[in-house]
Structure 1
Amino acid sequence: MSVLVAGCGSSGGGTGSGRGELRMWTFKQSHVAAFRAAAEKFTEATGTKVDVQAYTPDDAFLTKIQAAARTNDLPDVMEVHAKGEDFALGGAGLLADLSDEVDADWTKRFLPQVRGDGVVTPVDYENSLTEGSKSLGVQRGDRYSIPVTVGTQGMVYLNKERAAKVGVTEPPATWEEFIDVLDRLKKEYGGRGGLTIGLKSPSTALEWIMQPMAYGLLGKDRFEQLFGRDAGKGWSSPEGRKVLDTYNQVTPYWMPGSQSKTIDEADLAFAQGKASVDVGGTYTLAFLADNGYDVGNLLTFPVPPPAAAKMPDLQMSPFSLTGLGMVKKTAKRDEALEWMRFLSRPEIAATFGKQANDVPPNDFDAGQAKALGPVLNSMQSSFGTDPEGYNPSVTSYRPNLYDAGKVGAVLAQMTPLKTLSTRSTGARMSSMMKSYWSEQGS
């Protein structure tokens, strides 16, 4: 993210709008209708109107913020990328510190795993001081956002009608059952029965399929050792080769041309019926819906662990995807906070999530969760509360110079390209880890 310039004087939230209206910006077009529907209810309840506008793509959103900061025309509230953009804008003096406003009564509405997201941890603060940091200026303990959508990676999307035709009506509980589903679909539908993920970005298959499977198979500690300094416990070890052999079982089932497709192209191929299985994140759901896919025709589930896994009941740990931040110099602080609290209410968040096809951060009870609908509910139910659940946003066990794209490119030579054996793949990946740690030093 480029350096942002804070404006002087009062926020643009007070420019050209009366006391009874807030302005809100987002970078997600798929959220606009849901925010506007919530805004109508907010106006009915409080009398305050909310004007919601989207600026896309991300670069255009940042350009809009930069220009508005210079002319004192920022909105009152913004939806931003969590644990990144919120810190950059907070460090630049554009977003307010909410730490005195967001109390326990507010955060207890959220899933335990994400209640602290938006808060600058000691590690976040230290990272902000490194050369080239995009979050320079943040202060330890400040909160620059509250969660509005959460999710994870490694979410499988299965064409429900096609699955039913091959006798599959429930999500597979194990990796072996997952491979069996792929096999049935290929036999019935040929190339249209395949799996896609967007391998033109090779880190996808590494991080969205292999890693969650490996985490369940080996357990947290042994999984992390695959990326560690001890080469004897790396990808060439018996456990590393077992992971690669297990993952290689997907090789016959890739959709033709998968290796040349971007993530969006892969998702679109699934939406158009050219593939029967797609793997992405919880956020993939909105893309599929926006491109005409009937979300009622989905079975969704996390990549399952093998039957003999160390963690057979593997849970996925959610992390915040987007958050709500309040512009620091808004002239309507009280109304802005009231709007943000309103969006966090369980009944409002559930309706928003269902309409936006995105997972809210709320810790719903069983009755509230029903309002999400079956697809989002199945996603959120996979999160669980296990502190050792798989969280792809935790990367502290890897070397600082680790490049998932380069490692994923080696993995792609094994599958789908079939130009490397599992043994050779493990050797190359181990060599890369050794090199990364050597460059990092002690």
Structure 2
Amino acid sequence: MRTPFARFTPKTRFAAVTVATVLSLSPLAACGGGSSGSGDAKSLTMWTFKQSHVAALKNAAAQFKKQTGITVTVQAYGPDDAYTTKVQAAAKTHDLPDVLEVHSDGEDFALGATGIARDLAKDVGADWSGLYQKGVQTSGTVTPAHYKESIPSDSKSHGVKEGQRFSVPLTSGTFGIVMGNKKMLAAAGITKPPASYEEFLTDLKATTGKDPKNGGVSLGLKVKATGLTWGLQPLAFGELGKEKYQALWGQDASADFASPDGQKVLGLYSQMQPYWMPGTQTLDIDAADQAFAQGKSAWDIGGTFTLAFLQQNGMNPEDVMAFGFPGPQGGAVPKPALAPLALTGLTVSATSSHPENAEKWMKFLAQPAVASQFAKDATEVPSTELGADAASVMGATLADMTKAFEGSPENTYDPNVNDFRPPGYDQDSMAEILADLTPLKQKSPEATGKALAKLNNNFWATANK
């Protein structure tokens, strides 16, 4: 799995907890350990779990060396599990690199809590953070909300302090992005993105009618939280608007998932049922994206980060139509925007022999000219604010994806905002229930709503004890 859903992704949580558990037992966490990274003042090492970033980072490193004389050696270890294992082993032997690419606002906190990541709070000033998009300028910082989440002793970030900063953003984006194969869509008479959820359903009917086997939509529903976070939640926000959307997770029975509002949303989402790619419930995220790249589905639901993976698997980005998950035409927010969030960030290992040079490298990557080239090389949205040049820099398809970011606070679905959900909320168990509605078609919207409301009430009851 290549990317998180948000800060509460199952994979991020698993990886972070695993790292935290192992590292908390290491002498490095207990007493600071010795130096690691490169011993040469004119060289640095950097690790990443994103193979698609390697060429882009190496190109940037060549320019960095020209400017500073400092060599950066970039190494990739993937997939995520292999990267986690590598970090675990290196922590035990005090052989960590100078810089680590991490999942933002989760994995970085776990590494900071165990003494692996250096606190950057005093080093990242306004001149540095101001280079980033407004929505991600403070990514990697322990906010009051993050600190509250860290208080339980079993929290992956237990031990961090409010105001500490353990990473700066490298890539940004969002999920809830729908992609269509232009050639397959054109064969069904579709030449432009749907203006509403209803039009999207009509388009799905057209492509599956044209090609019953390969005309459906793929989504990695083996990881059931994708259906909840990438599909239902943006759809629910569009139908209900911000306040009523948040009320689905509240304590008022007249507004939760069993209420008329909840039933309306679940009914809308269940209309996807006839159009799932056959077997999509058995596919993880990578496999679902690969199916789309191979022409086994006409549509794919993912995020801005998906395009690079599709390209790696032989699909030309210019053959992809992309747009944000559309809202219902009669909904409270018929044209919802999707807020960007930091996806990956950069952290300095606490044992780096040359933290100043490591930070110099990280700040170099945030420069607009460098970030622009990174975007071209990696087919990813950089966290740096590129302004009016973004479309020409990133290419038409990726630029189309970022158009989903454009909106006001009231009409923007923001996956970063979670304070309306009960403490101890577990999206995975909620997603298990939702999967019984679709794609498994084992429960009705009414039964699904009651089950979701019951579980959500259990979370609140536990929190209120």
Q: By the TM > 0.5 criterion, same fold?
A: yes
TM-score category of the 2 structures, normalised to the smaller one: over 0.9
Find the aligned partners of 2:317 and 2:362 in 1 and give their Cα distance: 28
Residue identity matched to 1:420: K
- Counterpart of 1:200 in structure 2 is 222
Residue 35 of structure 2 is matched in structure 1 by 11
Corresponding residue of 2:427: 404
- Of 285-294 and 267-276, more deviation after overlay is shown by 285-294
Letter in 2 for 1:235: F
Partner deviation per Cα, 1:287-340 (whole Å, 9 max, x = no partner)? 222222222210111101011121223111111111111122322233222211
CA contact (8 A) 1:6 1:94 kept: no
Residue 339 of structure 2: which of 298, 317, 321 is its match? 317
Contact 2:390 2:399 (8 Å CA) reproduced: no
Runs ≥4 in structure 1, deviation > 6 angstroms? none
Deviates more, 1:313-322 or 1:280-289: 280-289
Partner of residue 277, structure 1: 299
C-alpha separation in 1, matches of 2:93 and 2:437: 53
Q: CA deviation at 1:54?
A: 1.3
In the TM superposition, what are the counterparts of 1:172-321 in structure 2 within 5 Å? 172-321=194-343
Cα distance change, pair 256–90 in 1 and its aligned pair in 2 (3 A)? same
Q: Does 1:149 align with 2:171?
A: yes
For the residue of structure 2 that corresponds to 1:336, the secondary structure is helix
Q: State the alpha-carbon separation in 2 of the partners of residues 351 and 404 from structure 1.
A: 36
Choose from 59, 67, 89 the match for 2:89.
67
User: Mapping of 1:44-59 within 5 angstroms?
Assistant: 44-59=66-81
Q: Which amino acid aligns with 1:207?
A: T
Structure 2: state its 5+ residue gaps. 1-16
Local SS of the residue matching 1:123: helix
CA RMSD of aligned residues (A): 2.0
- SS for the counterpart of 1:155 is strand
Alignment-mate amino acid for residue 105 of structure 1: D
Question: Offset at 1:6?
Answer: 5.6
Given that residues 380 and 394 in structure 2 are in contact (C-alpha distance below 8 angstroms), is that contact kept between their aligned partners in structure 1? no
Indicate conservation of the 8 Å contact 1:6/1:92, yes or no. no
Matched, 1:428 2:451: yes
CA contact (8 A) 2:38 2:45 kept: no
Specify whether residues 368 and 405 from structure 1 end up closer, same or farther in structure 2 by C-alpha distance, changes over 3 A only. closer
Distance 2:84 2:441 in 1: 41
Q: Counterpart in 2 of 1:138?
A: 160
Shift of 1:123: 2.5
Measured against aligned partners, the alpha-carbon deviations of 1:93-122 in whole angstroms (never above 9, x if no partner) come to 222221222111221221111111111112
Q: In the alignment, what sits opposite 2:372?
A: 350
Q: CA deviation at 1:385?
A: 5.5
TM-score (norm 2): 0.89
410, 432, 436: which one pairs with 1:413?
A: 436
CA separation in 2, counterparts of 1:439 and 1:130?
14
Q: What is the CA deviation profile of residues 370-413 of structure 1, one whole-angstrom value per residue up to 9, with x for unaligned ones?
A: 11111221222211353342122332222234333333333333
Amino acid at match of 1:203: A
DSSP-derived class of the 1:12 partner: coil
Name the counterpart of 1:394: 417
Alignment of 1:159-178 (within 5 A): 159-178=181-200
Q: Secondary structure at the match of 2:346?
A: strand
| Aligned-residue identity in percent | 44
In the TM superposition, what whole-angstrom CA distance separates every residue of 1:69-93 from its partner, at most 9, and x where no partner exists? 3443322111111111211222222
Counterpart secondary structure, 2:212? helix
- Structure 1 contact 11–75 (Cα < 8 Å) conserved: no
Moved more, 170-179 or 121-130: 121-130
Q: Provide closer, same or farther for how the CA distance between residues 19 and 217 of structure 1 changes in structure 2, counting only shifts above 3 A.
A: same
Superimposed CA distance per residue, residues 35-62 of structure 1 (whole angstroms, 9 cap, x where no aligned partner): 1111111112222111001122333323
The alpha carbon displacement at 1:238 in A equals 1.8
Superposition deviation, residue 147 in structure 1: 0.2
Runs of 5+ consecutive residues of structure 1 not aligned to the other structure? none
| In structure 1, distance between residues paired with 2:437 and 2:164 | 45
Bigger drift between 351-360 and 397-406 goes to 397-406
Compared with structure 1, are the counterparts of its residues 6 and 215 closer, same or farther at alpha carbon in structure 2 (3 Å cutoff)?
A: farther
Moved more, 413-422 or 101-110: 413-422
Whole-angstrom distance in 2 between the partners of 1:61 and 1:264: 17
- The alignment of Structure 1 onto Structure 2 pairs a total of residues equal to 440
The answer to whether the 8 Å contact 1:300/1:378 transfers is yes
- After superposition, the Cα gap between the structure-2 partners of 1:407 and 1:331, relative to the gap in structure 1 and judged at 3 Å, is closer
Instruction: Assess if the C-alpha contact under 8 Å between 2:140 and 2:167 holds in 1.
Output: yes
Give deviations 1:181-216, integer Å, cap 9, x for gaps: 111111212221001112222222122111101101
